[in-house]
Structure 1
Amino acid sequence: MSFQTVLVRGTGLLGTSIGLGLRASGKEVWLSDPSQVAVSIAADIGAGRVWNDERHPDLVVVAAPPEATAEEVHRALVRHPEAIVVDIASVKGSVLDELRQFPGETDLTRYVGTHPMAGRERSGPVAARGALFTSMPWVICPHEDVAEETVAAAEELARLLGASLHRMTPAQHDGSVALISHLPQVAASLVASRLQNAPQQALGLSGNGLRDVTRIAASDPNLWVQILTYNAPAVLEILYGLREDVNQLIGTLEAPRAPGGQADIAQLIAEGNAGVARIPGKHGSPPQSFTVVTVIVDDRPGQIAALLNDVAEIGTNVEDMRMDHSAGHEVGMVELSVLPGRAEELAQALTHIGWKVVLT
Structure 2
Amino acid sequence: MALVEKVLIVGGGIGGMCAAILLRRQGIDVDLVELNPQWAPDGAGITISGPTLRALREVGVVDDVLRVGGSWRAVDFCDTSGQLTATVPIASAHGADDLPGAAGIMRSALAAILADATRSAGTDVRLGVSFEKLAQDAQGVDVTFTDGSRKRYDLVIGADGVNSTVRPYVKPDFAGPQFTGQGSWRAVVPRLRENSSIYMGKTTKAGLNPISATQSYLFVLDKREGMDFITQDKWPQMLAELLEEFQGPLGALREGLLDGTLKDHRVLYRPLMGHMIEGPWHRGRIVLLGDAVHATTPHLASGAGIAVEGALVLASELGRKRSLEGALLAYAGRHYDRARLVVSASGRLGEIERAGGSRDEHTQTMFNAIQALREPI
TM-score by length of 2: 0.32
More strand by share: 2
| RCO higher in structure (CA 8 A, sep ≥6) | 2
TM-score by length of 1: 0.33
